Amino acid sequence: MENAWLVRALLALLVAFVVALLLAPFVLRLAKRLKAGQPILCYVEQHAGKAGTPTFGGFIFLLPTVAATVIFSCQEGLGVGLIACFVMLSYAVLGFWMTLSR
């Protein structure tokens, strides 16, 4: 099949999306239990409803996306998939570091 890479990419997207949807309630409950929220320092009145909202919601999408990318790109070689995963993980580390530094 000429577009097999496209089919694998769409399957990876679909699998990652479904796994992220299934993980979301558990991760959000864990985040609330760990009180992993960011304090609201300015515009308190306008953002009072956000108090206690977990700040690492991107984590829900990170693991399923990396896993699905690695699994579905194994047949053709991991080159582009690993580069994409490295970039995404780098942004996640940067975001985590920025959250901790506040």
User: Each residue of 17-45: pLDDT tens digit?
Assistant: 999 999 988 888 887 787 766 666 666 66
pLDDT for the residue 15? 94
Is 74:12 a contact under the CB 8 Å cutoff?
Answer: no
| Tokens standing for residue 40 | 């609201």
Confidence of residue 54 (pLDDT cuts 50, 70, 90): low
> Is the model more confident about 39 or about 10?
10
pLDDT for the residue 72? 82
How far is C-alpha 12 from the chain's CA centre?
A: 14
Residue 101, pLDDT above cutoff 80: no
Computed over every residue of the chain, the mean pLDDT equals 80
Mean pLDDT, residues 51-80 taken together: 78
Judged by phi (left if over 0) then psi (alpha if -120 to 50, else beta), residue 90 lies in alpha
Residue 16, pLDDT above cutoff 90: yes
Residue 5, pLDDT above cutoff 70: yes
Measure the CA–CA gap between 9 and 15, rounded to whole angstroms.
10
